[in-house]
Amino acid sequence: MVKLSDLEIEKKIVYIYGPVERENVRKYASISGDRNNIHIDDDYADKMGLKGIIAHGCYSLSMIGECLCDIAGEKGDVLNIYGQMRGMVRPGDDWIITLTVKSIDSGTRIVEFDYVEESKTLIKLVKDGEVLKEFEAEQRGWITEKDEAKGFLKTEETEDGTLHYRLRKAIPGRAKIRLEK
Amino acid sequence: MIDNLFKVVIMELTQEEKALSKKFQIFKGKELKRVIHRVKGKNLVKFSKLMGNKNPKYIGIEKEDGTVDFSNVIAHPCYPNCFSVGDNGAAFDVTGWRFPPEEGQEEGFKVIRNFGKLLHTAQEYDYSTAEETIKHGQKLNVTGFMEEIYVKSEKMWMIVRLEARTQENKLVVVSKVSTCVTKGGF
């Protein structure tokens, strides 16, 4: 739970969830009733040109709902969630959600956020020019020239070597909560 | 908030896109087939747990015998996806809509000719006018209509507005589903 006094305009709150598990995508399909095979069956998704299953946009949106539940706390309320599904999220990805406070009404205790949910897709781990590990993104060809052109490809130094990954926008949107007293 | 966000794009149609959008306007305002959704505590808990939620408000408190008292459990704010989209969702009705039959046709062409070209592009859940919280035991009437339908950037865009109400006619959520059908699918 976040207190009203903890917040100020433009303050950022970051949540990281994941990695997305195939089994959980299937569970989401079952619970939500959205059983489109592109979320369930890798072979079918391959035939649709998707190179494997993708997570439901609403599953990714629900993770933003989860952040809002956490911020609102036990007695607060989530009043509105709006999101645009812009980029596919796949098994193995992390969700990185950054919420930015846009308005605070101390009388009603209503707080509005803009947020961006990004997906972090691991590509490969390299040390001294040698590829130590290839992740599914590399094996299935999920990374495209467009990713490179748009500057989505990043690296990060780790104890085991240089981690190559893609970071791109999955869902941008807005949300509104009422904090508890 | 819910009435503003989805309408921005409508103003940006070119003359050609407005002309292409014209034939679809017979569906604007068309009502969706009503869906009845029974809210079950165990499903509320499953949904919230899948998001990693540990708040008793959303997942209940397990009793010594392993059962959960669902009476105080409320829905995760994104739970309405279970009655908005997907096979059981009210918006799914649109996939069966057809144009009036042309001469010599028994039934008209489908609005969405290729379901594989349908993409879910935006979603909104609004509780700011809700009169009651979604909870175990409710039987919800989910109704809605096609709020906007138009062609832009070679895609057909649809915005469906849904409302879910209890049997006592108390509003629990307003939801908007935005989808698009890519070239060749409409």
| pTM score of the predicted model | 0.93
B121-170, pLDDT tens digit by residue?
999 999 999 999 999 999 999 999 999 999 999 999 999 999 999 999 99
What is the tens place of the pLDDT at every residue in B57-100?
A: 999 998 899 899 999 999 999 999 999 988 889 999 999 999 99
Task: Give pLDDT tens digits along chain A (181 positions).
Answer: 788 999 999 999 999 999 999 999 999 999 999 998 999 999 999 988 899 999 999 999 999 999 999 999 988 999 999 999 999 999 999 999 999 999 999 999 999 999 999 999 999 999 999 999 999 999 999 999 999 999 999 999 999 999 999 999 999 999 999 998 7
Consecutive H or E run containing A45: helix A42-47
CB pairs under 8 A between A and B: 105
Residues 65-94 of A with CB under 8 A from B: 65-66, 68-70, 74, 77-85
CA distances from B94 to A47, A56, A81, B85, B182 (A): 25, 19, 23, 10, 16
Asked if residue B82 lies in contact with residue B92, where contact means CB atoms within 8 angstroms, the answer is: no
- Which residues of B sit within 8 Å Cβ distance of A? 1-2, 5, 43, 46-47, 50-53, 55, 57-58, 76-78, 81-82, 85-89, 116, 119-128, 178
The answer to whether residues B35 and B89 touch, using CB atoms and an 8 Å cutoff, is yes
Instruction: Check if the beta carbon of residue B18 is closer than 8 Å to that of residue B114.
Output: no
The verdict on a CB contact (< 8 Å) between A65 and B123 is no
Closest CB from B2, B89, B119 relative to A33: B89
Is the separation of the CB atoms in B175 and B162 below 8 Å? yes
- Closest CA of chain A from B161, distance in Å: 13
Residue range A15-29, pLDDT digits in tens = 999 999 999 999 999
ipTM of the complex: 0.94
**A181: which 2 tokens?**
């007293």
- In 3-state terms chain B splits into helix, strand, coil percentages (rounded to 5) of 30, 30, 40
